[in-house]
A and B are shown apart, each in its own frame.
Chain A
Amino acid sequence: MSDARLSVLKTYKLYVGGKFPRSESGRVYEVTDSKGNWLANAPLSSRKDARDAVVAARKAFGGWSGATAYNRGQILYRVAEMLEGRRDQYVREVAAAEGLSKSKAAEQVDAAVDRWVWYAGWTDKIAQVVGGGNPVAGPYFNLSSPEPTGVVAVLAPQESSFLGLVSVVAPVIATGNTAVVIASERSPLPALSLGEVLATSDLPGGVVNILSGRTAEIATPLAAHMDVNAIDLAGADEELAKELEIAAADNLKRVLRPQPVDNWSATPGTDRMSAFLETKTVWHPTGSLGASGSAY
């Protein structure tokens, strides 16, 4: 025996309701690197885990959607700060997960952190960009403002384990939704580690819930769940996407169909935010005096 120190392995756990439970099923599956070497045992989430995550996300929705956009922005920025501090860890995890060189993995992680900062800045601007005042023909004013649609199930992209993940999670919560996220099936470890960052970034428990396991197994009850308001099918293949979209019709979930993404590094538009926003238009009488109606 050499006297080299034996490293401490990490037990990867789910992130649900601000806590780190194992799967209630007690199951795990082997996660390997791109060469097939064992990396860790990740929780193999069950339908029950998915339902628990929805309960946690619903519970968190009132507080998170009711927080000021400024506050949400600060918390998202705090997440970016924490990610930056753990940069080396994510570089290692992404390199192993996706079989990338250290420098390529570092590019992915840096882009993910920058992406998170980008969305942090959107929280208090999106309403100004997609909302507005409407010049109605009559003695009324009305205002259209965006509001989060509610609990969003997110099937994270399968290939891009961290940048792809951040690119689909951040826009959902930036606008005040809460999320149940299914990590990349083959490469779930960066996602599970993201939970540790979220837990220490002032993000209220339940705003983001992260599950690992078989995407189809977890997504099916989420797509059919009557208390889920929307679903992002980024991580679904064509066949699964269709099946889930049909299930989602039962309560008319908002569905974001899988969009081909050549390059997760490209700056996104606002589409991933507006896909999970409702527009509320509030009317009020003004009486007959217009802005220019007074003589002075």
Chain B
Amino acid sequence: MAPVFDYAPAPESRSVVDIASSYGLFIDGEFTEAADGKVFKTVSPSTEEVLSEVAEAGEADVDRAVKAARKAFEKWSALPGSERAKYLFRIARIIQERSRELAVLETLDNGKPIRETRDADIPLVAAYFFYYAGWADKLDHAGYGADPRPLGVAGQVIPWNFPLLMLAWKIAPALATGNTVVLKPAETTPLSALFFADICRQAGLPKGVVNILTGDGRAGAALVAHPDVDKVAFTGSTAVGKQIARTVAGTRKKLTLELGGKGANIVFDDAPIDQAVEGIVNGIFFNQGQVCCAGSRLLVQESIHDELLDSLKRRLTTLRLGDPLDKNTDIGAINSAQQLERITSLVEQGEAEGAERWSAACELPENGYWFAPTLFTGVTQAHTVARDEIFGPVLSVLTFRTPDEAVAKANNTPYGLSAGIWTEKGSRILAVANKLRAGVVWSNTFNKFDPTSPFGGYKESGFGREGGRHGLEAYLDV
């Protein structure tokens, strides 16, 4: 269906961001080269343009950063909570002040639309710092005893899908509770963490409280294994999460893992179709589907399957894919060539196994990594596209007849992170939500986040919760 009229381009200016040609590691309050001088390039996924050259941390750098964090821990943890709170409030405010710069930067480095970084990522980043700032001087009210103690040095490894938001989820509660951190951002999205390092400097945060090590999985592995790290927090793939669990086995390190998902979005026949369609789109095409809690399995009650699919396809044809800096863009670039390859190969497998593929007709830009919004119908539970996490804009549609069948299918996965329920019937929402084995259940909405709300998975989606009062536990000796 051709658009009735087209939108004029509305690009956000990138002049608000000044990206240096190279960046060092942020250790003990200073930017410094890697001990062995190694660097790697970070590219913009929408253009393949090299944005900057970034230091690649090795084991010696990990050691240096952990030492700096250990040294800083003594003073930081001894500060009155009210003082730590003020540092975190400062950080939250500076993030708000620099929000436009950070939004553009994140869009450049990650490939996600400016609409999302501007309206979702960065406001949430500030909100998480604001929320945990308020906890720093109220920990004795958090339900973990009268004087809950921090753990020490937290080693944190985060993914590329929400680079700055995942940093906030990790650093804000860690600092509020009196820990110091060494954080390794993902290899393909290191820049916003380095900008955050600068925000720490502006806020006057004591040296060594936050250390940022850019690098790849080897740096992450070295950080996790470092004997002087007391707490490990990881968000990423289930396979790596299992490896980390093995690494910390038999040690005193406290571990929290936020891993993969294959969320079921269940639509009953009495659901408001238009709202459900918006929720489905938001559930799987938000951030190009590169979301661990994405609603990647659509479970539709059989009687409304055709009607819903017609509406959904019609809606998908109106999604605008292209320049992520354009404010009209809904679907940005896939984060990396490697991720695009994974999505492509899983989709090919879906076709080979006999599921029916439908992709929105849209022109893909010549450069960069792109994948058109895609859905599979005729999917059974045995299909790979119904079982494996694709982490891309690909929706698998299954059907069900009864609520029990919907629950059984929704729970038929080793994952247990998120689920959605669409129905006008309140009792059905509660009954179904009760039976779903998932850490977050959105009813008549999807992909909503808030710092007051604990987030995290059942089963192989990991353990521990981030956000809310529950999120404090991961950083306290309880």
Contacts and interface: CB of A to CB of B under 8 A. Distances in A.
Contacts of B455: 281
Given A246-B246, A252-B241, A252-B460, A284 B454 contact: no
23 contacts: A134-B450, A134-B468, A136-B448, A136-B453, A137-B450, A138-B450, A140-B450, A142-B453, A149-B458, A242-B249, A246-B246, A251-B414, A252-B241, A252-B257, A252-B463, A269-B145, A279-B456, A279-B470, A280-B438, A281-B455, A282-B433, A283-B443, A283-B445
Interface in B405-457: 414, 429, 433, 436, 438-445, 448, 450, 452-456
B445 A281 contact: no
Given A129-B143, A130-B143, A252-B459, A281 B478 contact: no
B439 A278 contact: yes
B408 to A, nearest CB: 12
A132 B448 contact: no
B463 A285 contact: no
Given A136-B453, A249-B245, A242 B448 contact: no
A250 interface: yes
Contacts of B242: 249-250, 252
| 3 nearest A-B residue pairs (beta carbon) | A242-B250, A249-B245, A245-B249
B127 interface: yes
A65 to B, nearest CB: 10
Contact of B444 (A136, A229, A248, A285): A285
Interface in B245-267: 245-246, 249-250, 257, 259
Given A281-B439, A285-B445, 16 more contacts: A129-B143, A134-B450, A134-B468, A136-B448, A137-B127, A238-B250, A242-B249, A245-B250, A249-B249, A252-B259, A252-B459, A280-B441, A283-B443, A284-B429, A284-B444, A284-B445
Contacts of B243: 249
Interface of A: 129-130, 132, 134-138, 140, 142, 144, 149, 229, 238, 241-242, 245-246, 248-252, 254, 269, 271, 278-285
Contact of B453 (A129, A241, A242, A281): A281
Specify the main secondary structure of chain A where it touches its partner: mixed
A144 B448 contact: no
A284 B443 contact: yes
Given A144-B453, A271-B478, A285-B445, A132 B458 contact: no
A284 B433 CA distance: 11
B465 A279 contact: yes
A134 B259 contact: no
Nearest to B452: A134
Given A149-B458, A242-B249, A252 B238 contact: yes
Nearest to B443: A284
B184 interface: no
A148 to B, nearest CB: 11
Nearest to A274: B473
A282 B439 contact: no
B118 interface: no
Contacts of A149: 458
Contacts of B127: 137
B448 A278 contact: no
Interface of B: 127, 143, 145, 238, 241-243, 245-246, 249-250, 257, 259, 414, 429, 433, 436, 438-445, 448, 450, 452-456, 458-460, 462-463, 465, 468-470, 478
A133 to B, nearest CB: 9
B470 A144 contact: yes
Contacts of A245: 245, 249-250
Specify the main secondary structure of chain B where it touches its partner: loop
Contacts of A280: 433, 436, 438-441, 458
Nearest to B252: A257
B414 A279 contact: no
Given A144-B468, A249-B242, A251-B460, A281 B443 contact: no
B430 to A, nearest CB: 8
Contacts of B443: 282-284
Given A242-B249, A252-B257, A252-B460, A132 B469 contact: yes
Contact of B445 (A140, A246, A269): A140
Contacts of A248: 245, 249
Nearest to B245: A249
A296 to B, nearest CB: 24
A281 B454 contact: yes
Contacts of B478: 271
Contact of B454 (A129, A144, A241): A144
Contacts of B465: 279
Q: Chain B CB within 10 Å — which of A242, A250, A252 has the most?
A: A252
Contacts of B429: 284
A248 B463 CA distance: 13
A245 B252 CA distance: 12
A252 B456 CA distance: 13
Nearest to B420: A283
B225 to A, nearest CB: 14
Contacts of B445: 140, 283-285
A134 B451 CA distance: 9
A294 B469 CA distance: 30
A251 B245 CA distance: 10
Nearest to A149: B458
A137 B468 CA distance: 13
